[in-house]
Structure 1
């Protein structure tokens, strides 16, 4: 090999080495930037969580968890995916939500007509996240509003009723013998009407006449003065047959 050829080969090796070094450096910078972006994203998520905010993925997961605690998983998924079936109950609730001045609605109708699902769909529409929504089964209402018993059983403050939307589910399944339920329901109605506007949904398998008879004229008049009682029609969605 001549001296010129040897020099040319040495230059080629040096250039290849320099190019490889540049490529490694660029890759390292890219990885570093990617890692930095990930770190910044994680920091932003932590800041949002510290402020009590949820990002889109967290919010979807939170709603799925909340909804699945009250209705079948497939209905919960349909609600968060905005694919809920437009049942008679859903249509009634959507119309009610458009009436800004109405604070209460009682959904009366047969078993399996989608009342609770419609109420839960409304909760997602009204509340910014599940922490501002509540669903209380009617038999548990008096216990929920009893501060000593609730704290003893659950280790948390009882009786919060300032949610943007609150659902009392399955009126008519509670016991009336000691009057505690009616006292709790009247307290709930009064507290929900006080202060800033909040939405309240009550579901029942009783017909409207029997639901009003069960709660008494005073409570029923508050419902009617600030909302409406709606009879939900339709087939039993769980059984696929008529009511």
Structure 2
């Protein structure tokens, strides 16, 4: 191999870099006396330390860039201003909704359903899932993560209900909702006893069906209780959206339900 085709050790990664070091070491070992092998080994260790320092610096630099880009990423995903302010600060308030979102990401689940009263932090907790809207790219031999705003979408149920089959912009929005890596469908609820109408239920069923697959993460928030009532055999939420929607959202081993309570954090309440 010509010297022009050789790559410095700090630029080669993984198995290829190790193979290069071993190949070069074998060639050099044949050219050195036994006493010279100790010096050669010391040189290898020094190059390995240099590579480790280089990789650590790259990781630290990229993590800092991610923290700096996080508020903009939230905005590009469509997160409301109050969620951006709550999640982009130095310290995120540990609400039940945020803890539930972290649990979902940690366990690799695909569906989060948050219920609770107004002001308990459901929307902010759901938007925390946008951390999962990243893509992996290779740069100078390393796998790095970059924010991918096109992979995250915040959508209110009231907005989705207004989608028309005849408007190109509405169809594109619906397609994005079906395909986004992370979707937050906010405020999927109503008054206890109300039910979703036929057209809107069909729209919701299609959305839930399309998103019930590996690789997609979805958060739904609702003001309706998700707790099962023994007498009725279901919850306020299940009666509102229908059994088919609930069965698709809550496939065994793929979902997390969490009731965030009724304490309004905007009025000085504590989680």
TM range, smaller chain: 0.5 to 0.7
Q: Structure 1 stretches of 5 or more lacking a match? A: 1-54
Could you tell which deviates more after superposition, 130-139 or 56-65? 56-65
1:157 is aligned to: 172
2:217 aligns to what?
199
- 1:136-166 C-alpha deviation (Å, 9 max, x unpaired): 111222334x4423x2xx4872312211110
Query: Is the Cα contact below 8 Å between 1:64 and 1:77 reproduced in 2?
Result: no
The answer on whether the counterparts of 2:78 and 2:153 sit within 8 Å (CA) in structure 1 is: no
Distance in structure 1 (CA, Å) of the matches to 2:166 and 2:211: 21
Aligned to 1:201, the other structure's residue is in SS state: strand
Partners of 1:67 and 1:76 within 8 A in 2: no
Worse-matched range after superposition: 56-65 or 87-96? 56-65
Deviation at 1:113?
0.5
Structure 1 residues 214 and 242: CA distance shift in structure 2, 3 A: farther
Asked if 1:137 is matched to 2:152, the reply is no
In the other structure, the counterpart of 1:11 is none
| Cα-to-partner distance string for 1:60-112 (whole Å, 9 max, x where unaligned) | 4632533775132xx41442346211111111111111122x21111011110
Task: Give matches, 1:61-76, under 5 Å.
Answer: 62-63=72-73, 65-66=75-76, 69-72=79-82, 75-76=83-84
Highest CA radius of gyration, 1 or 2? 1
Q: What SS does the aligned partner of 1:112 have?
A: coil
Instruction: State the match for 1:90 in structure 2.
Output: 98
Please give the root-mean-square deviation of Cα atoms over the aligned residues, in Å.
3.0
CA change 1:132–1:67 in 2 (3 A) is closer
Structure 1 or 2: larger helix share? 1
Question: Counterpart of 1:105?
Answer: 112
Alignment equivalent of 1:183, drawn from 172, 180, 202: 202
1-structure distance, mates of 2:209, 2:183:
13
| TM-score using structure 2 length | 0.58
Cα shift at 1:58: 8.5
Change (3 A) 1:56 1:122: closer
| TM-score under structure 1 length normalisation | 0.64
Other structure's SS at 2:93 match: coil
Report the 3-state secondary structure (helix = DSSP H, G, I; strand = E; otherwise coil) of the residue aligned with 1:171: coil
Structure 2 residue runs without a partner (length 5+): 1-64, 135-147, 227-234
CA distance in 2 between partners of 1:232 and 1:80 (Å): 21
- Structure 1 residues 67 and 117, CA gap change in structure 2 (3 angstroms): farther
CA contact (8 A) 2:101 2:126 kept: yes
Give the superposition deviation at 1:184. 0.9
- What SS does structure 2 have at the residue aligned with 1:86? coil
Q: Which residue is equivalent to 1:80? A: 88
Secondary structure at the residue paired with 1:157? Answer: helix
Counterpart CA distance in 1 for 2:173 and 2:266 is 33
Give the CA deviation at 1:221: 1.3
